[in-house]
Amino acid sequence: MKTNKNTLLKGLKYEVIALPLLLASPILISIGFKAIKHQQNYWWLIAGILLALTAVIIGFLGIKILLNALFDKDE
């Protein structure tokens, strides 16, 4: 079994993109809850939830690509 290096790098790129999103989304969500309490402003909360969903989707796609690179049965 040979690892496809181009696919492996693509999967790692997806994971590197997902990491800052995973770190930023809880911060935005907590800012959003504080903004709701003080100003009735929902934009920060909506942005944080969308960022969290995007991070999870990109993370799962990256894991799928990594697993395809490691366990490819075409060769």
Residue 6 CA to its chain's centroid (Å): 20
Which residue, among 26, 9, 21, has the nearest Cα to 66 in the 3D structure? Answer: 9
With 60 as the cut, is the pLDDT of residue 6 above it? yes
**pLDDT-based confidence at residue 74 (cuts at 50, 70, 90):** low
User: DSSP characters for 12-73?
Assistant: HHHHHHHHHHHHHHHHHHHHHHHHHHHH---HHHHHHHHHHHHHHHHHHHHHHHHHHHHS--
Predicted confidence (pLDDT) per residue in 9-64, tens digit: 999 999 999 999 999 999 999 999 999 989 988 999 999 999 999 999 999 999 99
